[in-house]
Structure 1
């Protein structure tokens, strides 16, 4: 066959393939063109899985009113040009990651009237062309704050008749084109975390129908109260302050130096506490508490031999029973509630005799006393209140019991058994017994 004949044969084969693709359609569906759209109608077919074999140019796919139990990864890989996908009235419980991510041209998505509780929210990040999203009448309990971050073209969002207890502040902020939002008939927990939604709903130009049904289910005293008429709640974001205590009541401590920090956190609702500790050996994260009042690990805490290295108590105290070089580092207390978070940190270092730290510290504090600022000491609890000016010094006797004193009052040449410094300068030093 001549080269011209070969080319002609290849062209004919190519056209045959294209015509075959255009005419392909799963047996259970009807495919055709209508109003310039390539439509695949698979509704009301008692389907239990997404059919395969669609034409690649399908732009509208209806799978409504079937018995689909879920949408697996790659379910719509054959139809990347879809602009409309209808999946209402199925039995879908799970939408797996990657099931929808390929539909970058999708404008309308209807997942309403299913049983969805597990949804791949990250797939929405690829659907930047989406204008209509219907997820009403499902079992959704949670929406990530960044779920809608890419949906700047979205005009209508329906989340009504789900099981949402709250919505994170800022969830709807990326939806700059939104004009219609339905969130009614969800069991909202009307605590401090939902107050922002009331404020936003009253101020936004977005249409929110059935506002009397956007109501509280809990707490009991507010049950049935529309969010728009929610009374003022005593809410405040967390604040944190670290304090030092020489001992921890109720803990059975072995003889030796014990470093104790106390995280005083305020806020409404009561903040959750977490300790972040950066030591030479690595980072330690502790959700407080991890021990009971007796210092023993709580049930369910990570298994450890004997007493935990770091003991976080329910009252906000953190004990390091045998403080030494391996425990040097940065100790941070983090408090979080529904309204935000706060953090406070101190740096902890151990200075041993011969490092010169004692004399340097003494000269520094005597100089500050001469300036009229000086040092401050207390018997049990110290709270730094100003940068560099509030410095606490505690001397430890050879037996390990703390005895408070002022370093500026030390007689010339007097030797110190030990020294502990805590200040807002974020430096903590302990001089080992001499």
Structure 2
């Protein structure tokens, strides 16, 4: 029995030693292979080349943070089970064609932060099962045609922070399953429309830090499945064509940190499925009324850090699903209740960071301070002085009617204003009013139309009506309407313009009008006063000289023309013979004398 036990222990030791030797052989030097060699970790081992001796059962290989410079042809052909390969944070500048052949089960490939400048066509050959590819933080200049043509199952492509200047029209051919594409911080100066149109399954497109100034029409055509479009930090983008986003069915759109001075209403009107809109950090000054109504499903609008001065009444009219408005860090003094379609639907309101005037216009917000979500940032009053720096949550219900008040508008000078002028005159009608908040002024013309702030008849910033170059048809009554949130007041003025007869006689000059004035003669002279010539001697000499030079020029041109014409005729005759018959000396017929002939030499 003792002998049998010894034999068993010896056999077990041999098997254990063989297993350890096999395990050591399947894990390259300086690498760690936990989990029965299905995972090989060689990260940060100062490797200059890709080691050998991997187990054929390996499913994950991490070669990141080394000094590898080249990936050779069929470098990983002995790893048919590999599903994840990480080559990030190396010095790779060259990947040979067919480098990844044999990795038919590979799902994730990371080549982030290397020194690739170009990817030859065929590098990704054999990666038909790949789902995720990270090429970010390289130095890639161009994507060539058919670079990704065999990657039919790729879903995510990270290509941000490269030196891309051009994406070929057929670069993305084959990416029929791609759902997410990120192109950030590149040198592209225009949208690669043709290349993107190959990605008809794309759902999310992110483009950050580009130097594109204009978004043209049909910039994203054929991307019918795109749901999220992110354009951030385009400092020169100031124009979006009216059909730039046509054909898209977006649910989320971000255009922030750009140079848009107005909400791009015409470009947005097609996005009837849009739910999330972010226009933050653009120099937008106003959200106009009744221009967002086409965004039927809009739920959130973010416009943080802009130059917003006002949001006009009815700005969100028709948006029945509107839930969140974030306009923090702007220059708003108020937000009137009439801006929203239904106040009861609003759930989140961010007004912090604005110089709010706490008067009757904001009373509706303060009364909902317990139900509204301010995103953890309470709005704060800036004016009047009695409530300066107080947060909305600090007000009690009893003091609201006393503090949040407005003073109705009142016209200050109600004396009749009437102007009777002739055509062409300029007329000014003043309209001064006070109130709290400060009233706005609207003028209604004699034709019952609203007068704008531009044109021949216009309203000046101080509320004065200016009529320039008055015409007869401008006559009539004009009404000034001064209004604020507490009420309005009006003033009527009269303008009467008289027609002026026009003198349409055409000026007529006689000969004397062109003559120089006569020099007075002496009183003791008996000679008759002579009329001077119309032109003096100097003028006559100049005119004669100019005419003579013109004549000589014409003659010279004729001679030159005749010379070249004669040279182009082949055989040239230098003499001409002319026959003639002299006429009768008495003026009768031409038969009274003998004929004659003479010869003329041609030059």
TM-score (norm 1): 0.49
Q: Which has the higher contact order (CA 8 A, sep 6+)?
A: 1
Q: So what's the TM-score if we normalise by structure 2?
A: 0.37
